[in-house]
Structure 1
Amino acid sequence: MEIHDIIDRIGALDGVLVLTPGPGDGSPEIAWGDVFFYYAPDGTVPHTQPFATIVTKDYPDDDVSRLDRPGAFRLNIAAGAERFREWAGTAPTDAADVLFPHPVYGALHWLSVVNPGPRTSEAVGDLLISAHRLARERADRHARRGRPDTH
């Protein structure tokens, strides 16, 4: 899977807002080139974490995936506790096309995969749908309570 394939796949889900920070938009420079996916049917960035991200470079304290290699990127998915437990048996890795707990946010039930491909394609698709559903359900709960979507 290429980054644009993932963006198209997630962006096609109902109510998804895709943010790609870049120069001039007020985002921090370190985020430029990365992609953030929110459940936001009104098109407004919610006051919550995205349900998936694509990072294209190493961040401070997050370099285990070695994203400094040409063409390397990592898809991160807020899997939720139940789905996380299904996949959390492997240690953080820089190997391509392998699901593993996020090197920093694994304790918050995030899963990651460097350069997703044929081995993880089906699981990634299923996990993204699940993460989208969880984000939608969270937003719906907050809307019923009359509060903005926050963690």
Structure 2
Amino acid sequence: MTEDDITQHLIDMLGGGHFVVAGDNSFFFHGTDNKLPFATLVTKDSDADSASNLNRPGVFRLDIRTGEQTFHALFGEQEQAGIDYTALDRLMPHPTETNTHWVSVINPSAKTFEAVKPLLVEARNLLASQGKGT
């Protein structure tokens, strides 16, 4: 999957939401404000988030907000130490946002993207049900 493929899928599923591109990163929102995205596409490291080594050519990370129950179903209470946050095409806890239950995958394949599509729907619905972004 390419960044453009994923972006198009997210745009298609927005239905009343919107996205913002800032600094080559894309933020996808359920509603009309820009407070809480349900997903992001990140293309570069920052001072606060460099564990994924996104500065590699052609590398991007899809980040998805999940609910606490889903996050723990995926990863249990696993320690964050020892995770290779630079691994491609592997769903993992977000390197810096596990306390808010974000997950991520770097350069997802078509198969992996199909597997995370339900997480994207859940993320959007989670914010909608909480009245976030309206």
Q: TM-score range by the shorter chain?
A: 0.7 to 0.9
* Aligned pairs for 1:1-151 within 5 A: 1-13=1-13, 14-21=15-22, 32-40=23-31, 44-46=32-34, 48-88=35-75, 89=78, 91-139=83-131
Q: Give the secondary structure class of the aligned counterpart of 1:63.
A: coil
8 Å CA contact 1:87–1:99 kept in 2: the answer is no
Higher relative contact order (CA 8 A, sep 6+): 2
AA in 2 matched with 1:16:
G
Given the two structures, how large is their TM-score scaled by the length of structure 1?
0.77
Q: 1:61 Cα shift?
A: 2.9
Moved over 6 A (4+): none
Q: 1:82 Cα shift?
A: 1.4
Given the two structures, how large is their TM-score scaled by the length of structure 2?
0.86
Cα distance between partner residues in 2 of 1:64 and 1:4 = 23
8 Å CA contact 1:92–1:103 kept in 2: the answer is no
Cα distance between partner residues in 2 of 1:119 and 1:96 = 13
Q: Percent identity?
A: 37
Q: 1:86 Cα shift?
A: 2.4
Structure 1: tracts of 5 or more residues without a match: 22-31, 143-147
Q: 1:4 Cα shift?
A: 1.0
CA RMSD of aligned residues (A): 1.8
Cα distance between partner residues in 2 of 1:85 and 1:92 = 19
